[in-house]
Amino acid sequence: MRNLLRVVALLTPVLLALPVAAQNYPDHPVKLIVPFGAGGPADVYARFLAKYLSDETKQSFVVEDRPGAGSIIGTDFVAKSKPDGYTLLVMSNTHTVNETLLPNKPFELMRDFVPVATINESDLLMVVHPSVQAKTVKEFIDLAKKDPGKLNYASSGPGTPYHMAGELFKSLAGVDVVHVPHRASGDARNSVVSGTVQMMFDAVPTMLALSKAGQVRALGTSGSKRNPLTPDLPTVAETVPGYDATIWLGVMAPKGTPKEVIDFLNQHINKVIELPEVKETWLKQGAVPMVKTAAEFDSFLRKDIDKWGKLIKSANITVQ
């Protein structure tokens, strides 16, 4: 009994400190870990969010890019971080895809993380290098069918939305186009701009400027309806029925992060993305704000894991 009382006495200060720590959150800088390269949507919107959160909470939110291995390196870093709310993961549907595509990764999304909040969703732009003799999606399909395996498409790594957009296109269009993975979306983009790789699916906000400058040729957008930024550009689905592939972003925290901290972050992230000036800026970039509770995000994640898992298995998609 005496030993039990001693243990309780030792643990009591620690247990009492947990709610206090949550109540004082954040009292020092918070890291937003982006497991993708600089310049991509996750990096761009993480920095946007960090600025507003810093202003909103009067505490620094700092973005740190840790790209590599199709998001595995940065994500694993967060999974192994202290669950105190000071190291957060900025993630995308790359992570829900990887649950099936990369079963041997060192973490499991719904086991090692907790959902915090969603950020936004964007269409992808299907683009080719100007040297490619295709000005429409149909012409690209015809070209690919004429020379199977000759054309390549770039992505920022296995499991990324760019990779899955390409694989879904291959599956539904019935073409053989070779996947060329890169370390980061900026690298993949450079390969297409230089003509080293012929085609890529990339987020509208980051690729539209290159398309307007004539460095790439846009063939179509990836959503179910035409994008308001490119109303004259057809969707891929207008040529390939059923095609629909977008990129969405969210925030997760290591498992064990106090609920009070999760609630605080969800409340403030939602407040930021619902600001009229944020909505207006994002919509001009082709990004639609996504507002969900942590519980709604949890359900959303599980459904997305199931959706991509079925596609990966049915199409027999594997990592090269």
Burial class of 226 by CB neighbour count within 10 A (0 to 12, 13 to 18, 19+): middle
Q: What are the start-end ranges of the E strands in 106-263?
A: 113-128, 152-155, 178-181, 199-203, 217-221, 246-254
For β-strands 287-289 and 113-128, DSSP reports them as antiparallel
When pLDDT is cut at 50, 70 and 90, the band that residue 17 belongs to is very low
Cis amide linkage into residue 26, ω under 30° from 0: yes
Give the pLDDT of residue 181.
92
Residues contacting 70, CB < 8 A, separation 6+: 94, 98, 102, 156, 157, 158, 159, 160, 163, 181, 319
Average pLDDT over residues 203-225: 92
Q: Which two tokens stand for residue 106?
A: 């060192």
Q: The domain 123-238: what is its CATH number?
A: 3.40.190.10
Residue 228 has pLDDT above 90, yes or no: no
For β-strands 30-34 and 61-65, DSSP reports them as parallel
What is the C-alpha R_g of the chain? 21
Residues of the chain with pLDDT > 90: what percent? 74
* 180 CB-side CA count, 13 A: 20
Global pTM reads 0.79
Check: CB of residue 113 under 8 Å from CB of residue 79. yes
When pLDDT is cut at 50, 70 and 90, the band that residue 15 belongs to is very low
Sequence spans of domains, the chain: 2-121+247-314, 123-238
Q: Could you tell me the sign of the dihedral formed by the alpha carbons of 308, 301, 71, 270, in that order?
A: positive
Give the pLDDT of residue 320.
58
Q: How confident is the model over 265-298, as pLDDT tens digits?
A: 999 999 999 999 999 999 888 889 999 999 999 9
For β-strands 152-155 and 199-203, DSSP reports them as parallel
Query: Measured between alpha carbons, how far apart are the two ends of the chain, in Å?
Result: 60
Give the pLDDT of residue 290.
96
Give the pLDDT of residue 22.
66
Q: Which superfamily does 2-121+247-314 belong to?
A: Bordetella uptake gene, domain 1 (3.40.190.150)
Indicate the average pLDDT of the chain.
91
Residue 32 has pLDDT above 90, yes or no: yes
Residue 11 has pLDDT above 70, yes or no: no
Average pLDDT over residues 39-48: 91
Average pLDDT over residues 52-61: 96
d(Cα 164, Cα 97) in Å, to the nearest integer? 8
Check: CB of residue 285 under 8 Å from CB of residue 205. yes
Angle (nearest 5°) at CA 243 between 237 and 248: 115
Q: How confident is the model over 74-119, as pLDDT tens digits?
A: 999 999 999 999 999 999 999 999 999 999 999 999 999 999 999 9
More confident residue, 272 or 4: 272
d(Cα 212, Cα 200) in Å, to the nearest integer? 16
Q: Could you tell me the sign of the dihedral formed by the alpha carbons of 274, 279, 285, 288, in that order?
A: positive
DSSP state of 234: P
